[in-house]
Structure 1
Amino acid sequence: MRHHGDVEAERGLVDFAVNVRLDRPPEWLRGRLAGALDQLGHYPSAADDLAARSAAATRHGRSPDEVLVLAGAAEGFALLPALKPRLAALVHPSFTEPELALRDAGVPVERVQLDDYRLDPSAIPEAADLVVLGNPTNPTSVLHPAAGIRELLRPGRVVVVDEAFADTVPGERESLAGCAEPGLLVLRSLTKMWGLPGLRAGYALGDAELLAELSRLRPHWPVNALVLEAVRACCEPAAVAESERAAEEFAAHRQDLLDRLADLPEVSVAEPAEGPFLLLRVPGGERVRHELRARGVAVRRGDTFPGLGPDHLRVAVRSPEQNSLLVKAFRDVLECG
């Protein structure tokens, strides 16, 4: 379960394994981060933190006390044991870091396996006081209805929604980032949209009491000045408009890839897909993955996600030119198999 796509994407390979839009931040964001370097000479202040929280709050129609800046959404998963859940329900297949953090802390975990990858609120154990799911879900690319997620809310339960890819969906459909309901905790990431995996920047959205409980064991200055600047910059209206244009482009490129894959009868695709990646099922998937790699193409293995097997592969959505290269490599491998 401690496997991530970056392990697959070695230098020199065409990368369809990692779901990051850009290979480096855009120039305007690089300029903002460079301009913040002089701030490294002092500890981040309460005012600095408030400025970042205020930017995220404005972006989502929340108040600043409903925002907690994080060292990446992954930090939010690492903090979940601080909520002291008695039973955590993890909706799978999905990103594995939340389960690992909870199990390592000794929290009882029950997996809720979705055979068709779509959320069934009735499948969640009534006794679970913590529920974790992704939306859109990695690696299935399924976008769950917000109304279905809201059905999971009840007194004494925290529902955690991993929205690391929500800004890649046009209009951020089904996002609950602006929903101020008790017990709802939404985690957002800047990594995927803005090419910031080396910085680790994100934030949590929830009611103030819940965020205080989540963060009670954090050290002083848990995020650095560059993260605070990145949150401010990426939550401004111009950045939000740019991300919406990118989301529309993702949708067009995803359809292009789906159309091309339709010409490969051996490859089945989990649909409907709404994220910047697709989950594929290919006979002899492990062999195919290795042979693609020998041809210079990296894809993400799927068998490290609970409920999936070696025939499952996850591929990132790229430009039509790159999509064409991927499909050709698949065709060559499958014809030789």
Structure 2
Amino acid sequence: MKDLHGGDIWSVAKAGGLAPEAIIDFSASINPLGISRAALRAVENGKALLTAYPEPYAAELVAELARYHGMPAANMIAANGSNELIYLIVQALRPRRALIVEPAFGEYRRALEAVGCVVDDVVLKPSDDFSFDVEKFHEKIKDNGYDICFITNPTSHIGGLIPRADICKVIEQCRGDGVFLVIDEAFCDFTEGGSCKAEAGAGDGLIVLRSMTKFFAMAGLRLGYAVAPENIIERLASLRPTWSVNLPATLAGIASLRDRSYIEQTRGWFKAERPYMEALLGGIRGVRVFPGDANFFLCGLDVTATGVEAPGSLLLSRGVLIRDMTGVRGLGSGYFRVALKSRADNELLAALLQELTGRASVSSSVV
């Protein structure tokens, strides 16, 4: 079964006879503050330029990313979402044998298999709260002939941040074994201290992927970037289509990176709202909330205790979309994922889940 990404409000709306804007979407983990007002103004002010081609290689945007992260622009490349970069990486490196740390974003496997690569995996276990075990990883990767490894940090679908000491060991192990390492940090804007961007710019064999989708709420504009050694950036740039980043994305991206008020407001919302929502979800009978550090929660549902087999369908009948993890490797039926949203939306979801499970031990006033 294909692991579909969250956020497909279009298909859901069409199937259910709903207006897309009427759906409360918990399936995609997007900043509920919305796109920065400064970004919206920048796009509005630049509309007269929409008849012109954008910069061929988004040079001004890359320069702003470099300033934002305090890194050389030569170590960065922008693209039409980090998804485009996943495919460019695979095209550039042409690996024969790959390792993916699962559960993971399904596009890694699709990109690898598209070039005939044999894909293996190491699967995080619910018995360990899906935590990453660096020693088990080392056992798996050592002497197995892998050319490339994909790992997410915070971990994909669970959202747990791998401790910095452990992720540095992973980098060292991969470099020692000649395995090219790709670390997808799509959610790392919420936990910036755990980023390996500096290591990617300073050494060989490592690419860090970043996204403007989650923290900066730019999913519809498609904007992502990578940090890597200069020679790898050049190889990716040679394969990337001209005008990969459109003008509205460029204007909004630059303005968002400069909007310190928006960035601070987002971090303040996240710091306050995540523990609040975790307490709400954790108090619902039959729902297990796995530890995480990102702007979403992976939950397990005890069907026997709750009598609920399809929470997604029941919630959708109330206009709420969650992410069913049935098609995700390493998860399957009984697991669902929900985004962290506004206080009102979070309380609504918790109340609906409480209603579905029959009774609850907490109310929406939990702090």
Do these two structures clear the TM 0.5 threshold for a shared fold by scoring above it?
Answer: yes
Shift of 1:309: 1.4
SS in 2 for 1:280: strand
Residue equivalent to 2:300: 281
Runs of 5+ consecutive residues of structure 1 not aligned to the other structure: none
Give the distance between the partners of 2:340 and 2:246, measured in 1 at CA. Answer: 31
Determine which of 138, 141, 155 is the counterpart of 1:125.
141
Residue equivalent to 1:31: 41
| TM-score (norm. length: structure 2) | 0.83
Give the distance between the partners of 2:74 and 2:87, measured in 1 at CA. Answer: 21
Determine which of 91, 94, 98 is the counterpart of 2:101.
91
Residue equivalent to 2:155: 137
Residue equivalent to 2:27: 17
Residue equivalent to 2:80: 71
| Pair 1:263-2:283 in alignment | yes
| Pair 1:51-2:64 in alignment | no
Residue equivalent to 2:7: 6
Q: CA offsets per residue over residues 209-247 of structure 1, 9 Å max, x none?
A: 1122233322222222223323322332x34x5324312
Identify which range, 1-10 or 89-98, moves more after superposition: 1-10
| TM-score (norm. length: structure 1) | 0.90
Contact 1:190–1:202 under 8 Å retained in 2: yes
Distance 1:283 1:52, change over 3 A: same
Residue equivalent to 2:233: 211
Contact 2:97–2:118 under 8 Å retained in 1: yes
Distance 1:158 1:334, change over 3 A: same
Determine which of 268, 288, 302 is the counterpart of 1:248.
268
Give the distance between the partners of 1:177 and 1:64, measured in 2 at CA. Answer: 13
Give the distance between the partners of 1:31 and 1:219, measured in 2 at CA. Answer: 28
Give the distance between the partners of 2:59 and 2:242, measured in 1 at CA. Answer: 15
Residue equivalent to 2:17: none
Residue equivalent to 1:149: 167
| Pair 1:159-2:160 in alignment | no
SS in 1 for 2:41: helix
Write the letter of the residue equivalent to 1:61: G
Shift of 1:17: 1.4
| Pair 1:114-2:124 in alignment | yes
Determine which of 299, 316, 319 is the counterpart of 2:339.
316
Distance 1:86 1:121, change over 3 A: farther
Contact 1:167–1:243 under 8 Å retained in 2: no
Distance 1:22 1:259, change over 3 A: closer
Give the distance between the partners of 1:185 and 1:201, measured in 2 at CA. Answer: 17
Distance 1:306 1:162, change over 3 A: same
Comparing both structures, which one devotes a greater share of its residues to helix? 2
Shift of 1:194: 2.3
Q: CA offsets per residue over residues 278-326 of structure 1, 9 Å max, x none?
A: 0000023642221122222211101222110110000111233222211
Give the distance between the partners of 2:45 and 2:309, measured in 1 at CA. Answer: 46
Give the distance between the partners of 1:263 and 1:37, measured in 2 at CA. Answer: 48
Distance 1:74 1:244, change over 3 A: farther
- The CA RMSD measured in Å over matched residues stands at 2.1
Distance 1:32 1:310, change over 3 A: same
Shift of 1:26: 2.8
Give the distance between the partners of 2:254 and 2:222, measured in 1 at CA. Answer: 14
Give the distance between the partners of 2:311 and 2:54, measured in 1 at CA. Answer: 48
Contact 2:210–2:226 under 8 Å retained in 1: yes
Shift of 1:141: 1.4
Shift of 1:23: 7.3
Contact 2:281–2:350 under 8 Å retained in 1: yes
Residue equivalent to 2:354: 331
